[in-house]
Structure 1
Amino acid sequence: MKKIVLLLFVITARPAPAQQPDKTLWYNQPAQYFEEALVLGNGTQGATVFGGVGTDKIYLNDATLWSGEPVQANMNPDAYKNIPAIRAALQREDYKEADQLNRMLQGKFSESFAPLGTLFIKTGHGAASQKYYRQLSLTDATSLVRYTVGGITYTREYFVSKPDQLMVIRLRSSQRRALSFSLTFNSLLRNQVTVANNILMARGTAPVRSEPSYRGDLPNAVVFDPARGTRFTTLAKIKQTDGRLVTTDSTLGIQGGTEALIFVSMATSFNGFDKDPATQGLPDTQLATDRLNNAFAKSYAQLKQTHVADYQRLFSRVSLSLGKSTAPSLPTDERLKRYAEGKEDTDLEALYFNFGRYLLISSSRTPSVPANLQGIWNPYIRPPWSSNYTTNINVEENYWPAENTNLAEMHQPLLTFIGQLAKTGAITARTFYGAKGWSVAHNSDIWAMSNPVGDFGKGDPMWANWNMGGAWLSTHLWEHFAFGQDKTYLRQQAYPLMKGAAQFCLSWLVDDKNGNLITSPSTSPENQFLAPDGYKGATLYGSTADLAMIRECLTQTALAAKTLNVDAPFRDSLDRALARLYPYQIGAAGNLQEWYHDWKDVDPRHRHQSHLFGLYPGHQIRPDRTPDLARACRKTLEIKGDETTGWSKGWRINLWARLWDGNHAYKMYRELLHYVLPDGVKTSYARGGGTYPNLFDAHPPFQIDGNFGGTAAVAEMLLQSDEEGVRLLPALPDAWASGAVRGFRARGGYELAMTWAGGQLKTVTISSRMGGQTTLMSQGKTTVVSLKAGQSLIINW
């Protein structure tokens, strides 16, 4: 008995876990709102943990659980027949008629990412507690909750394992047999909960249709059909060291225990974008059962060890220090508030960067199912913007940090998804545009929907009719090669898809009155122009954004063909088209024109800056190579101003970094971390982009792309690369005068580490997996480096 008392004393008196200020989120109270909760994920299954005392609430998600079923891509077979009339209206400069006719090139809306359900852990004590502590460790992708009630300390640890494909929760009490709890489950989806053989089972189906929330209170906005839709199964089972297992027909729990493990296993019937999940689906119940049984046979130590090893293999590739911080140790929400006052906290700035990499690892490990607008964390049956794949910026921004921050494997779900889009997109290209190749409009979903949305004419062309998603997405295929230099991948996977996207571009281009190639009809994502007669329109010809994306697509496709030494005649056709593209235009205000003509924007501070694509993420504009265009981009950003939504701010930071203006990029990075209260809290002040208490990006509401854009921007400020070479510290702000980074990747197949002090680069370590020659450039100095495969070189700069 004395040994037990001594052991209990040690457990009770144990200090708080060691906190790394750049790798730990922590709080002194449970989460009340979604934007305060901590998220876990294994790339497929997601958990949002609130950490409550009397009741803990955990939202559960699965990346493959969406409304709908395979899309019928041939939904508007005669749409393309309207294009001659639209082009004729544009030739007459009748933009009002062009807008009306453009509505004929519309189809269905996308489906929605669905919430799987909520697991509740109801404790045997009240909600009042002392010494409450809640954290998320980015070092090992685990969450912890600890508090004291009546002199007894209760601890819960959570993680979602990729190797074992399920969630594990360990509950402990500092006093023997003081642990009691019960599990319940509910869902917004059609489901049935049962308990049998000491397993809580929830089975249900996603809707066959879920209308976008922005369409308002439509009749039958959410439609269930018992014979259709994606099935899901969730299983929960408890392994206890002592205590009594208690069950009802819908609950499962423990009475009088000291330690217990909860295993939560999830699976769906999704079997691919083109398979009916009801009739051709995977056996979700069997999958969930097998995962549960396999994990249940292992110890907690085994499960955690394999989880941590798998995660750290990815996360620990990169380390970042932005200099020594003097900021006090505060809970994360208090750190954000203090930072918003202008105080220094370089560890918080590094924490946000690290959190972005954590989110990508946690949300993007499902083949052909990319991270969506909310990653994999969504509690709503009609989530904001359907929590879908928005291809006019958002899904691409999700993957900006994949290559340069050394998470190339996380890029694969998007890259393989592009292959699926090419299949439906070939039908879209033919039936909506009368074009060759494949194309994607501005929304997609897990079913690889590629058509323009708008419900067959009800959508405004300013957002419904953009069709350059294929051209933009194809650039990700080349970027993956540029960083990895895998010619087998380029030959077998990337180039055929790039060629199809380029074929669409070639067949969609038409001559303007001066013999230049332009697009017609055209839009600039979600923006409107002010025509000379005062008409506020969206449909025009030759938008700068279209041509910038086409220029990037054709250039990279020609490079790919040259690299592989294939398709010489096709490569020549690409070069001829590139030479004839309508060039960039600088407006009277010194800005880069967004429209073919020097028109004003209806909203000069509009959140989209798609016409700056050639500066970032493209490679067509650079201060030293195209100084006039770079100055025009700067003027455009100055006109737009810095106040904008979360994802847009993330993009603008990257744009300022590409202009080599580190201090302006840093100013906006600080603004990206502006503290924003949860959406459930009513506020009287103006809301803008920023960061919620749990470090989620506030669009608002939550959109994960701002997190990823901010993470990519930090890397872009410190390292930029292209086929010509690598620029080190190209946009280093004064605030980061000293620092170090390890593990960043550069195009050409290189990996680098750097140290700097006093604003000056000190050391560089460069390695090459494939071997090659590149040029390192920093602060006026240039060094040519030649490396053999696997060789590293240390340079004192």
Structure 2
Amino acid sequence: MRDAVNWEHALVTGNGRQGALCWGGREAIRLTVSHERLFLPVGPRLDAPDTAAILPRLRGLLAAGRYAAAAEAVCAHAAAAEPAYAETVWIDPLVGAATLTVRPERPGAGSWSVELGSGLVEYRWAGGHLRVFASRASDAILVALSAPGGFRGTLDLSLIESTPPIPVTGRVATGPTLNVDFGAAPGYRVRCRVLSGDVDGCEVRSDAVLAIRTLLPGDADPAVPDEDFEALLAAHRDLHGELMGRVRLDLGAGRAARAAPTARLLAAPVGPALVERLFDAGRYAIISSTGDLPPTLQGVWSGTWTPPWSSGYTLDGNLPAAVAALLPTGTPELLLPVFDLLESVRDDLRHNARRLYGARGLLTPLHLSTHGRQNHFGPVWCQTFWTAGAAWMSRLYVDYWRYTGDRDFLRERALPFLRESAEFYLDFAQIRDGVATFSPSYSPENAPAATGSQACVDATMDVAVVRDLLTNLLRIADELNLADPDAPRWRGLLGALPGYRVADGLLAEWCHPDLDDQPAHRHASHLWPLWYEPDPLITGDPRLRAAAMATVRSRLAWWLGAEADEMAYGLAQLGLAAAALGMAEEAYATVERMAGRYWRPSLVPTHNRDAIFNVDIAGGLPAVVAAMLLRSAHGRLDLLPALPARWPAGRVTGLAARGAVRVAELRWAPGRAQAVLTARHDVRLTVGAPPGMLIDGAPSCPVALTAGRPHRVLAVSP
């Protein structure tokens, strides 16, 4: 890749805590460094709006069909009590720390490259060579400068460009160290140490190795334990490469196609080589941006003071998309930071539930970063009405247990979070004549046709996530042999949930019969029941299954239209649903669209087509590919459930499945597929053959796996 014109086109390296955007070229090579906890303190931590005081009025407006009035009433009530709510209140944004600019004495046009297996980014030109990586072993950005006869040039460490929304000042001290203040608030330091070479202030007079570390107040700054760049890289490669190497995908691309430059692959029709590369690149971005915290909208990287949507954690789709591939690609430990984040703001989630709805339990905001208060909403984006977050996050807790078999986690972390999440819905849902109602409600970020407002009642997502939560709670109680005192109430609410609705042959986005669908939309939240373990109420009912399939095709038709070039992770939502339903070509169409429109030659995806640096589909694309090759749900493992015609032969190693099962190898060719399965503990499951094939003469067969012992499965065409 040639010169990267700005930080949005940068190549990336990261160790989860520290990151570097690598860009520029020719006259100046730039490394913009960042830290996972560097959120700019732009706003106060407000009490969530006290909408519990007007809840009967809100429900009355919604029952009368005055949806926009209900959303406006929240804003008016909130602003009357807290003047700050007269404007939209944003979360604290993730920002870049500083930019190290390297100006070689002998500049020239060069090219950038990244090695995904090691995280090493390089810039080569006739007069020199720069190498950089974010070390997992040393928790620092390591930079090597070299040139024939010795590197010569200058260094400049300075604040990132653009204007910060609050007073920010910085000065370079000896070292050099950039000391930054946020007005009266504590800031941070960026320290650049010289490990080897002749460097005097900003002058570089020989080949050199540098270590850069962003330090927040209280952070330790230990010395990097070695000055030899190759040794430092080897120590990092062992850690990073092991994570990357847990899964290998071969779609039969061929050696020549795999060697082609990314820009050439992106310019051509999507083929197996590009899908293979982006599968790896997506995993690389998420692995590189997962540290003590999960990836934000921009991972661990930022080159601005004002990133889009403040680049925090957006729970109604972006964060779940970013982490969607972590479990099926065998990196479950990288999901733990999601739970750490949620549990660190648990008191705020309780505060939200009390203030907004007078309820017990947990209520997540849609956006969060430095706190979990529900502060961000408005009359159009009526996000105080979105109550599905805690139940959705509960599914991630459940799946961590299902993929790892970790019963201690189930008992000590999952069950408490699920129980407290359920407390909210037990208090919030209204049951009348035996049927539960969710009012207010919200189906991100869509509006029922002809209502003029996103405010609604009985969004299908709300019903689906609560059904999943309560079902899992009852199963976990059985698994742990617990007689939970809330179990009768869980069963009562579960039995009162409204059924899924079909309207005009489609799975309705709102269970309420008065709300009509708006299918031309980037979200597909009503397909949530198909993104994880497909809901048997849909897959087992021919009418609902057909409606869900028609919904996938309807939304996909909109996405394939010329006007749909925004929010790429909506394609991941469709792809997961299509794969769950065995819709191979539709699932492939989502992968093809994600691959062909939303990635740059830097191997970093974008939110819109060629716009807005963003990592959502870095998780979403690998998740859809994995779902097409393997489906695990309800004690069953299906091989190649949605294999498209474009991938007639291939091999994947290391995919993971529920039941703590690992597919050590899955290999296929026309008329034949074979898998090697292992398990962490003894488990019985049903293995399904690929469509059109049989295992031992049947479409599926029972398999008993013994912990640690490989088991081979062969499927062939009849």
TM-score w.r.t. length of structure 2: 0.91
**Which of the numbers 437, 442, 448 marks the counterpart of 1:523?**
442
Question: How many Å separate the matches in 2 of 1:662 and 1:374?
Answer: 30
Question: How many Å separate the matches in 1 of 2:280 and 2:672?
Answer: 22
Aligned to 1:626: 541
Q: Structure 1's 115 and 459: CA in aligned 2 closer, same or farther, altered over 3 A?
A: farther
**Which of the numbers 67, 71, 81 marks the counterpart of 1:95?**
67
Offset, 1:691: 1.8
Tell me, yes or no, if structure 1 residue 261 matches structure 2 residue 209: yes
Tell me, yes or no, if structure 1 residue 443 matches structure 2 residue 421: no
Aligned to 1:427: 351
Amino acid at match of 1:605: A
**Which of the numbers 179, 182, 185 marks the counterpart of 1:203?**
179
Amino acid at match of 2:210: I
Q: Aligned residues, how many?
A: 683
Q: Is the 8 A contact 1:547 1:581 kept in 2?
A: yes
Residues 158-193 of structure 1 show CA distances to partners (whole Å, capped at 9, x for unaligned) of 11101101011111112x245333333223562433
Q: How does 1:656-675 map to 2 (within 5 A)?
A: 656-675=578-597
**Which of the numbers 48, 58, 63 marks the counterpart of 2:21?**
48
Q: Is the 8 A contact 2:251 2:651 kept in 1?
A: yes
Aligned to 2:193: 237
Residues 74-117 of structure 1 show CA distances to partners (whole Å, capped at 9, x for unaligned) of 343x3211101111223333334333334357664322112212
Q: Structure 1's 54 and 777: CA in aligned 2 closer, same or farther, altered over 3 A?
A: same
Q: Is the 8 A contact 1:102 1:465 kept in 2?
A: no
Amino acid at match of 1:235: R
Q: How does 1:442-481 map to 2 (within 5 A)?
A: 442-447=366-371, 449-451=372-374, 453-454=376-377, 458-463=378-383, 465-481=385-401
Amino acid at match of 1:733: P
Aligned to 1:614: 529
Offset, 1:670: 1.1
Structure 1: segments with no counterpart, 5+ residues: 1-26, 207-224, 270-281, 676-689
Tell me, yes or no, if structure 1 residue 350 matches structure 2 residue 270: no
Q: Structure 1's 618 and 67: CA in aligned 2 closer, same or farther, altered over 3 A?
A: farther
Offset, 1:328: 7.5
Offset, 1:617: 3.2
Q: Is the 8 A contact 1:696 1:703 kept in 2?
A: yes
Q: Is the 8 A contact 1:51 1:145 kept in 2?
A: no
Q: Structure 1's 631 and 185: CA in aligned 2 closer, same or farther, altered over 3 A?
A: same
Offset, 1:72: 4.3
Aligned to 1:691: 599
Q: Is the 8 A contact 1:195 1:201 kept in 2?
A: yes
Aligned to 1:782: 700
Offset, 1:502: 0.9
Q: How does 1:258-407 map to 2 (within 5 A)?
A: 259-269=207-217, 282=218, 284=219, 287-288=220-221, 290=222, 293-295=223-225, 297-325=226-254, 327=257, 329-339=259-269, 345-366=271-292, 369-407=293-331
Q: Structure 1's 104 and 475: CA in aligned 2 closer, same or farther, altered over 3 A?
A: farther
Amino acid at match of 1:181: T
Query: Residue 600 of structure 1 aligns to a residue in which SS?
Result: coil
Aligned to 1:555: 471
Residues 682-716 of structure 1 show CA distances to partners (whole Å, capped at 9, x for unaligned) of xxxxxxxx222323222222321122111100100
Offset, 1:254: 1.4
Amino acid at match of 1:582: P
Question: How many Å separate the matches in 2 of 1:522 and 1:552?
Answer: 17
Q: How does 1:14-29 map to 2 (within 5 A)?
A: 27=1, 29=2
Question: How many Å separate the matches in 2 of 1:718 and 1:71?
Answer: 46
Aligned to 1:86: 58
Identity among equivalent pairs (%): 23
Offset, 1:595: 4.6
Question: How many Å separate the matches in 1 of 2:310 and 2:385?
Answer: 18
Amino acid at match of 1:488: D
Question: How many Å separate the matches in 2 of 1:743 and 1:668?
Answer: 23
Offset, 1:143: 1.2
Question: How many Å separate the matches in 1 of 2:506 and 2:379?
Answer: 33
Amino acid at match of 2:604: F
Q: Is the 8 A contact 2:252 2:272 kept in 1?
A: yes
Structure 2: segments with no counterpart, 5+ residues: 79-84
Residues 643-686 of structure 1 show CA distances to partners (whole Å, capped at 9, x for unaligned) of 343111122111211121111211221111124xxxxxxxxxxx
Q: Is the 8 A contact 1:112 1:387 kept in 2?
A: yes
Residues 725-747 of structure 1 show CA distances to partners (whole Å, capped at 9, x for unaligned) of 11110000111110111110000
Residues 429-475 of structure 1 show CA distances to partners (whole Å, capped at 9, x for unaligned) of 0111111111112111132x231522xxx442444532221111111
Offset, 1:598: 5.1
Residues 366-390 of structure 1 show CA distances to partners (whole Å, capped at 9, x for unaligned) of 1xx2211111111121110110111
Aligned to 2:420: 500
Q: Structure 1's 499 and 73: CA in aligned 2 closer, same or farther, altered over 3 A?
A: farther
Q: Structure 1's 105 and 778: CA in aligned 2 closer, same or farther, altered over 3 A?
A: farther
**Which of the numbers 179, 183, 186 marks the counterpart of 2:159?**
186
Q: Is the 8 A contact 1:648 1:706 kept in 2?
A: no
Q: Structure 1's 338 and 324: CA in aligned 2 closer, same or farther, altered over 3 A?
A: closer
Question: How many Å separate the matches in 1 of 2:210 and 2:453?
Answer: 56
Residues 195-243 of structure 1 show CA distances to partners (whole Å, capped at 9, x for unaligned) of 42xx10011135xxxxxxxxxxxxxxxxxx32x2x521111122344xx
Q: Is the 8 A contact 1:462 1:527 kept in 2?
A: no
Q: Structure 1's 37 and 540: CA in aligned 2 closer, same or farther, altered over 3 A?
A: closer
Question: How many Å separate the matches in 2 of 1:663 and 1:788?
Answer: 35
Tell me, yes or no, if structure 1 residue 30 matches structure 2 residue 8: no
Aligned to 2:146: 172
CA RMSD across the alignment = 2.2
TM-score w.r.t. length of structure 1: 0.82
Question: How many Å separate the matches in 1 of 2:116 and 2:291?
Answer: 17
Query: Residue 486 of structure 2 aligns to a residue in which SS?
Result: helix
Q: Is the 8 A contact 2:157 2:178 kept in 1?
A: no
Question: How many Å separate the matches in 1 of 2:355 and 2:384?
Answer: 16
Question: How many Å separate the matches in 1 of 2:710 and 2:539?
Answer: 29
Offset, 1:262: 1.3
Tell me, yes or no, if structure 1 residue 59 matches structure 2 residue 40: no
Question: How many Å separate the matches in 2 of 1:425 and 1:135?
Answer: 43
Query: Residue 585 of structure 2 aligns to a residue in which SS?
Result: helix
Q: Structure 1's 390 and 761: CA in aligned 2 closer, same or farther, altered over 3 A?
A: farther
Aligned to 1:18: none
Q: Is the 8 A contact 1:203 1:234 kept in 2?
A: yes
Amino acid at match of 1:358: Y
Query: Structure 1 residues 514-523 or 306-315, which shifts more?
Result: 514-523
Q: Is the 8 A contact 1:622 1:658 kept in 2?
A: no
Question: How many Å separate the matches in 1 of 2:330 and 2:147?
Answer: 40
Query: Residue 170 of structure 1 aligns to a residue in which SS?
Result: strand
Q: Is the 8 A contact 2:652 2:667 kept in 1?
A: no
